[in-house]
Copies of this chain bind each other. A is one copy, B any other.
Amino acid sequence: MASAATTKTAPGTRDRLVSTASRLMQRGGYENTPVKQLVREAEATLGSLYHFFPGGKQELAVAAVHYGDEEFAELLRAGLASHAGPAQAVEAVAVLLADALADSDWRDGCPVTATALETVGRIPELQTACAQAFAHWQQMVAAKLLASGYPEAEARDLAATVINTLEGAETSAQVTQSRTPLLVAGRHLARLVASYASPDRA
Protein backbone atom coordinates (compact mmCIF):
# COMPACT_ATOMS: atom_id res chain seq x y z
CA MET A 1 0.00 0.00 0.00
CA ALA A 2 1.58 3.27 -1.12
CA SER A 3 0.64 6.26 0.99
CA ALA A 4 1.72 9.79 0.19
CA ALA A 5 4.19 9.41 3.04
CA THR A 6 5.78 6.38 1.38
CA THR A 7 6.05 8.06 -1.98
CA LYS A 8 7.85 11.02 -0.42
CA THR A 9 10.80 8.74 0.28
CA ALA A 10 10.97 7.66 -3.37
CA PRO A 11 10.64 10.85 -5.39
CA GLY A 12 10.69 11.11 -9.15
CA THR A 13 8.86 9.06 -11.71
CA ARG A 14 6.80 6.96 -9.30
CA ASP A 15 5.59 10.08 -7.49
CA ARG A 16 4.62 11.77 -10.71
CA LEU A 17 2.71 8.70 -11.88
CA VAL A 18 0.74 8.52 -8.63
CA SER A 19 -0.07 12.23 -8.34
CA THR A 20 -0.97 12.48 -12.03
CA ALA A 21 -3.24 9.43 -11.78
CA SER A 22 -4.87 10.91 -8.68
CA ARG A 23 -5.57 14.24 -10.41
CA LEU A 24 -6.92 12.63 -13.60
CA MET A 25 -9.11 10.19 -11.64
CA GLN A 26 -10.35 13.03 -9.45
CA ARG A 27 -11.65 14.78 -12.56
CA GLY A 28 -12.83 11.88 -14.65
CA GLY A 29 -12.73 8.62 -12.72
CA TYR A 30 -10.75 5.47 -13.45
CA GLU A 31 -12.02 4.28 -16.84
CA ASN A 32 -11.81 7.79 -18.30
CA THR A 33 -8.12 7.96 -17.54
CA PRO A 34 -6.29 6.38 -20.49
CA VAL A 35 -2.88 4.93 -19.67
CA LYS A 36 -1.34 6.82 -22.61
CA GLN A 37 -2.51 10.20 -21.31
CA LEU A 38 -1.48 9.29 -17.80
CA VAL A 39 2.07 8.36 -18.83
CA ARG A 40 2.38 11.44 -21.06
CA GLU A 41 1.18 13.89 -18.38
CA ALA A 42 3.40 12.25 -15.76
CA GLU A 43 6.35 12.62 -18.16
CA ALA A 44 6.98 8.92 -17.71
CA THR A 45 7.07 5.85 -19.93
CA LEU A 46 4.87 2.80 -20.13
CA GLY A 47 7.93 0.78 -19.07
CA SER A 48 8.35 2.81 -15.89
CA LEU A 49 4.64 2.42 -15.07
CA TYR A 50 4.98 -1.38 -15.20
CA HIS A 51 8.31 -1.20 -13.36
CA PHE A 52 6.74 0.57 -10.38
CA PHE A 53 3.31 -1.05 -10.74
CA PRO A 54 3.58 -4.61 -12.08
CA GLY A 55 -0.22 -4.81 -11.76
CA GLY A 56 -0.49 -1.98 -14.29
CA LYS A 57 -3.09 0.75 -14.33
CA GLN A 58 -5.24 -0.84 -11.63
CA GLU A 59 -2.38 -1.11 -9.14
CA LEU A 60 -1.41 2.49 -9.90
CA ALA A 61 -5.04 3.52 -9.41
CA VAL A 62 -5.11 1.99 -5.92
CA ALA A 63 -1.96 3.96 -5.04
CA ALA A 64 -3.60 7.08 -6.51
CA VAL A 65 -6.68 6.63 -4.31
CA HIS A 66 -4.43 6.34 -1.23
CA TYR A 67 -2.62 9.49 -2.39
CA GLY A 68 -5.96 11.34 -2.76
CA ASP A 69 -7.01 10.01 0.62
CA GLU A 70 -3.95 11.59 2.24
CA GLU A 71 -4.32 14.81 0.25
CA PHE A 72 -7.86 15.37 1.55
CA ALA A 73 -6.77 14.25 5.03
CA GLU A 74 -4.24 17.11 5.08
CA LEU A 75 -6.94 19.70 4.44
CA LEU A 76 -9.18 18.03 6.99
CA ARG A 77 -6.37 17.99 9.57
CA ALA A 78 -5.74 21.71 9.09
CA GLY A 79 -9.43 22.59 9.34
CA LEU A 80 -10.08 20.44 12.39
CA ALA A 81 -7.04 21.86 14.19
CA SER A 82 -8.06 25.46 13.47
CA HIS A 83 -10.65 25.64 16.27
CA ALA A 84 -10.87 23.95 19.67
CA GLY A 85 -14.64 23.47 19.38
CA PRO A 86 -15.68 20.71 16.96
CA ALA A 87 -18.64 22.68 15.56
CA GLN A 88 -16.49 25.62 14.49
CA ALA A 89 -13.76 23.24 13.33
CA VAL A 90 -16.15 21.40 11.02
CA GLU A 91 -17.38 24.69 9.59
CA ALA A 92 -13.75 25.72 9.01
CA VAL A 93 -13.21 22.53 6.99
CA ALA A 94 -16.14 23.46 4.75
CA VAL A 95 -14.67 26.91 4.14
CA LEU A 96 -11.24 25.45 3.31
CA LEU A 97 -12.88 23.05 0.85
CA ALA A 98 -14.83 25.86 -0.81
CA ASP A 99 -11.66 27.92 -1.20
CA ALA A 100 -9.67 25.01 -2.61
CA LEU A 101 -12.44 24.16 -5.05
CA ALA A 102 -12.78 27.76 -6.28
CA ASP A 103 -8.98 27.97 -6.66
CA SER A 104 -9.05 24.92 -8.95
CA ASP A 105 -11.77 26.51 -11.12
CA TRP A 106 -14.25 23.97 -9.65
CA ARG A 107 -12.37 21.01 -11.11
CA ASP A 108 -10.56 19.42 -8.19
CA GLY A 109 -13.34 18.07 -6.01
CA CYS A 110 -13.21 14.91 -3.93
CA PRO A 111 -10.26 12.84 -5.17
CA VAL A 112 -12.19 9.62 -4.66
CA THR A 113 -15.91 10.04 -5.47
CA ALA A 114 -15.79 9.69 -9.26
CA THR A 115 -13.68 6.53 -8.99
CA ALA A 116 -15.80 5.19 -6.14
CA LEU A 117 -19.05 5.45 -8.09
CA GLU A 118 -17.80 3.66 -11.17
CA THR A 119 -16.02 0.85 -9.33
CA VAL A 120 -19.00 -0.22 -7.17
CA GLY A 121 -19.53 -3.90 -7.85
CA ARG A 122 -16.96 -3.81 -10.66
CA ILE A 123 -13.41 -3.47 -9.33
CA PRO A 124 -13.27 -4.65 -5.71
CA GLU A 125 -9.66 -3.54 -5.04
CA LEU A 126 -10.43 0.03 -6.06
CA GLN A 127 -13.79 0.05 -4.31
CA THR A 128 -12.04 -1.06 -1.10
CA ALA A 129 -9.42 1.68 -1.42
CA CYS A 130 -12.20 4.27 -1.84
CA ALA A 131 -14.10 2.90 1.16
CA GLN A 132 -10.88 3.09 3.21
CA ALA A 133 -10.47 6.75 2.26
CA PHE A 134 -14.00 7.64 3.38
CA ALA A 135 -13.47 5.66 6.62
CA HIS A 136 -10.15 7.41 7.26
CA TRP A 137 -11.70 10.87 6.91
CA GLN A 138 -14.61 9.89 9.15
CA GLN A 139 -12.20 8.61 11.79
CA MET A 140 -10.43 11.97 11.81
CA VAL A 141 -13.69 13.84 12.45
CA ALA A 142 -14.75 11.25 15.02
CA ALA A 143 -11.42 11.69 16.85
CA LYS A 144 -12.08 15.43 17.12
CA LEU A 145 -15.54 14.78 18.56
CA LEU A 146 -14.29 12.12 20.98
CA ALA A 147 -11.59 14.49 22.19
CA SER A 148 -14.35 17.01 22.89
CA GLY A 149 -16.23 14.50 25.02
CA TYR A 150 -18.88 13.21 22.60
CA PRO A 151 -19.91 9.59 23.29
CA GLU A 152 -18.44 7.11 20.84
CA ALA A 153 -21.59 6.13 18.90
CA GLU A 154 -22.66 9.76 18.58
CA ALA A 155 -19.19 10.78 17.41
CA ARG A 156 -19.05 8.01 14.82
CA ASP A 157 -22.48 8.79 13.37
CA LEU A 158 -21.88 12.54 13.31
CA ALA A 159 -18.50 12.04 11.65
CA ALA A 160 -20.12 9.97 8.90
CA THR A 161 -22.70 12.66 8.19
CA VAL A 162 -20.07 15.42 8.31
CA ILE A 163 -17.99 13.73 5.61
CA ASN A 164 -21.01 12.66 3.53
CA THR A 165 -22.53 16.13 3.63
CA LEU A 166 -19.25 17.75 2.63
CA GLU A 167 -18.94 15.25 -0.25
CA GLY A 168 -22.42 15.98 -1.55
CA ALA A 169 -22.06 19.73 -1.12
CA GLU A 170 -18.76 19.62 -2.96
CA THR A 171 -20.36 17.97 -6.01
CA SER A 172 -23.10 20.58 -5.91
CA ALA A 173 -20.54 23.39 -5.61
CA GLN A 174 -18.67 22.02 -8.63
CA VAL A 175 -21.73 21.72 -10.83
CA THR A 176 -23.04 25.18 -9.93
CA GLN A 177 -19.56 26.73 -9.77
CA SER A 178 -20.38 28.31 -6.44
CA ARG A 179 -18.93 28.16 -2.93
CA THR A 180 -22.42 28.52 -1.45
CA PRO A 181 -23.40 24.82 -1.12
CA LEU A 182 -20.26 24.17 0.94
CA LEU A 183 -20.63 27.29 3.08
CA VAL A 184 -24.28 26.45 3.81
CA ALA A 185 -23.34 22.83 4.57
CA GLY A 186 -20.64 24.03 6.97
CA ARG A 187 -23.13 26.20 8.82
CA HIS A 188 -25.67 23.39 9.07
CA LEU A 189 -23.08 20.83 10.17
CA ALA A 190 -21.82 23.17 12.88
CA ARG A 191 -25.39 23.53 14.12
CA LEU A 192 -25.95 19.78 14.04
CA VAL A 193 -22.70 19.03 15.88
CA ALA A 194 -23.43 21.72 18.49
CA SER A 195 -26.96 20.35 18.99
CA TYR A 196 -25.47 17.15 20.42
CA ALA A 197 -23.12 18.90 22.80
CA SER A 198 -24.21 18.86 26.42
CA PRO A 199 -23.35 22.06 28.34
CA ASP A 200 -20.21 20.54 29.86
CA ARG A 201 -18.73 19.68 26.46
CA ALA A 202 -20.09 22.45 24.20
Contacts and interface: CB of A to CB of B under 8 A. Distances in A.
Interface string A119-138: 01100000100110010000
A174 B28 CA distance: 19
A165 interface: yes
A114 to B, nearest CB: 5
Interface residue SS majority, chain A: helix
A117 interface: yes
Interface string A147-182: 000000000011011011111110110111000110
Interface in A43-79: none
B134 A120 contact: no
A109 interface: yes
Interface of A: 27-29, 31-32, 105-107, 109, 113-114, 116-118, 120-121, 127, 130-131, 134, 157-158, 160-161, 163-169, 171-172, 174-176, 180-181, 184-185, 187-188, 191-192, 195
